[in-house]
Amino acid sequence: MFKKADEEIRQLGARNGFFSCLLDEEVVSLALTALVNTANALIERMTPYQRSVWRLAKQGLAQREIAERLGKFAQSVSDAARRAAIDTVVAAENAAKELLSKSFQR
């Protein structure tokens, strides 16, 4: 078990990855790894403002509410969300949570 974990960590570093999942179900592990790494790659590219928008969006706030909280125009929030693919990040995070939840219910 430790040899497999060591090998995964070594490969993760070689691929410049963020995350590698090792569950009993290989397909679920691959899907989780892809979802988390996609979300993290997009988050890494966000500006501080886009990250603020993302944090509020993942709490379920509408763009109008985010604009009010941040003291910005709604169009500014919309532009930031679009440029940073925030909807994609939130969807990937939610899908990963759902997969994990279902994996541990079995």
Residue 39 belongs to some domain of the structure: no
Range of the domain at 82: 46-106
Residue 11 belongs to some domain of the structure: no
Residue 55 belongs to some domain of the structure: yes
Tens of pLDDT, residue by residue over 47-73, are 999 999 999 999 999 999 999 999 999
User: What is the value of pTM for the model shown?
Assistant: 0.75
Domain count, the chain: 1
Residue 7 belongs to some domain of the structure: no
Supply the pLDDT for residue 100. 84
CA-derived radius of gyration, the chain:
17
Q: What is the CATH number of the domain that holds 61?
A: 1.10.10
Residue 78 belongs to some domain of the structure: yes
Question: Residue 40: which H helix or E strand, with range?
Answer: helix 26-44
Residue 23 belongs to some domain of the structure: no
Tens of pLDDT, residue by residue over 9-46, are 555 555 556 777 776 678 878 888 889 999 999 999 99
Helix-, strand-, coil-residue percentages of the chain, each rounded to 5: 75, 0, 25
